[in-house]
């Protein structure tokens, strides 16, 4: 029996180094992003408190009103900027945590470290396979545990159907050609697996979106929410109009009306979303 290049120790060592570099990079990024996360938590809290105190003092008092309002609105704007930045940091954390878990799993596959590999159960439609137990097809230390990196339900169905069904010779040749085409493109394969791992836990129904898209509209069937869907934008438009009047006239009543309209519109839209 000949040994392919994929089975040589040199190939396994290069794979280990390759995965190890990505694992180290992901771990370093997680540490860096965690520091940013902590700083942004404190920054958001400080900006929120400053905005709250200054706006209350500006609208409720008479001394240094202009200064308080200026600092308050600048702090409020900075608070929303910090929220957006914090969300980007959170998403980056999730992506690198997904990478970390993936490369730990890939290294565990190289080492045949079954305790670090997730169990791969058979899907319900293939649970009655007569040879599954004898050949350790699924479960711990199984064939699927070793070969499967499928990250979507459709991918798992495809792989398990290949195991459950006897292919024709033409199908075998077609699959072998696909393997040869991807064999020397490790970066491409890894990019596909990383993308799926970061966006799916394998339980999603890939046909759910078109089913949802062809289902009856939800909003018209709920009268209160339907009415509020017009009220919210109306309040926002009214608030913007009052803001324009405040900028033109400088009268505080228009500014108060603008804040009330924009705030009420925001709350109504949040209520509809909930």
C-alpha torsion angle, residues 67, 72, 75, 80 (rounded to 10): -150
Establish how many alpha carbons lie within 13 A of residue 57's alpha carbon, considering only the half-sphere containing its beta carbon. Answer: 17
What is the percent of the chain with per-residue pLDDT over 70, rounded to a whole number?
A: 91
Cα 203 to Cα 99, 129, 148, 150, 208, distances in angstroms: 19, 21, 15, 11, 11
Q: Residues near 97 by Cβ (< 8 Å), separated by ≥ 6?
A: 26, 30
Q: What angle do CA 70, 75, 80 make, to 5 degrees?
A: 130
Residue 37 banded pLDDT, cuts 50, 70, 90: very high
- pLDDT at residue 4, as a whole number: 43
What is the mean predicted confidence (pLDDT) over 95-116?
A: 89
Helix, strand, or coil (residue 21): helix
Q: What is the pTM of this model?
A: 0.62
- pLDDT at residue 6, as a whole number: 44
36 backbone dihedrals φ, ψ, rounded to 5°: -65, -40
Helix, strand, or coil (residue 24): helix
What is the mean predicted confidence (pLDDT) over 82-97?
A: 92
CA dist 179 and 32 (Å) reads: 37
Cα 88 to Cα 33, 35, 40, 48, 138, distances in angstroms: 10, 14, 11, 19, 38
- pLDDT at residue 173, as a whole number: 93
What is the mean predicted confidence (pLDDT) over 170-191?
A: 90
- Chain segment 118-167, per-residue pLDDT in tens: 888 888 888 787 887 778 888 888 888 888 888 778 888 888 888 888 88
The conformation of residue 274, written as its DSSP 8-state character, comes to -
- pLDDT above 60 (res 2): no
């Amino acid at each position: 029996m000949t040994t392919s290049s994929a089975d040589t120790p040199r190939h396994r060592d290069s794979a280990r180094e390759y995965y190890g570099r990505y694992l180290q990079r992901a771990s370093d990024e997680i540490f860096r992003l965690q520091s940013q996360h902590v700083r942004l938590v404190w920054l958001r809290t400080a900006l929120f408190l400053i905005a709250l105190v200054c706006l209350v003092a500006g609208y409720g008092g008479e001394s240094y009103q202009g200064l308080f309002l200026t600092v308050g609105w600048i702090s409020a704007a900075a608070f929303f900027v910090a929220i957006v930045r914090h969300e980007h940091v959170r998403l980056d954390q999730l992506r690198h945590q997904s990478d970390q878990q993936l490369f730990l799993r890939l290294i565990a596959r190289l080492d045949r470290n079954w305790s670090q590999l997730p169990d791969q159960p058979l899907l319900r439609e293939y649970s009655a396979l007569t040879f599954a137990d004898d050949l350790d097809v699924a479960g711990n230390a199984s064939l699927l545990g070793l070969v499967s990196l499928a990250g979507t339900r459709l991918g798992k169905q495809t792989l398990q159907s290949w195991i459950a069904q006897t292919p024709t010779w033409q199908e075998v040749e077609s699959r072998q050609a696909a393997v040869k085409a991807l064999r020397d493109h490790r970066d491409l394969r890894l990019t596909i697996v990383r993308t799926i791992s970061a966006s799916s836990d394998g339980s999603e129904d890939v046909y759910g979106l078109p089913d949802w898209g062809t289902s009856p509209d939800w909003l018209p069937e709920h009268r209160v929410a339907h009415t509020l869907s017009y009220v919210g934008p109306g309040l926002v438009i009214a608030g913007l109009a009052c803001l324009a009047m405040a900028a033109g006239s400088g009268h505080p009543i228009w500014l108060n009306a603008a804040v009330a309209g924009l705030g009420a519109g925001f709350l109504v839209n949040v209520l509809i979303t909930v």
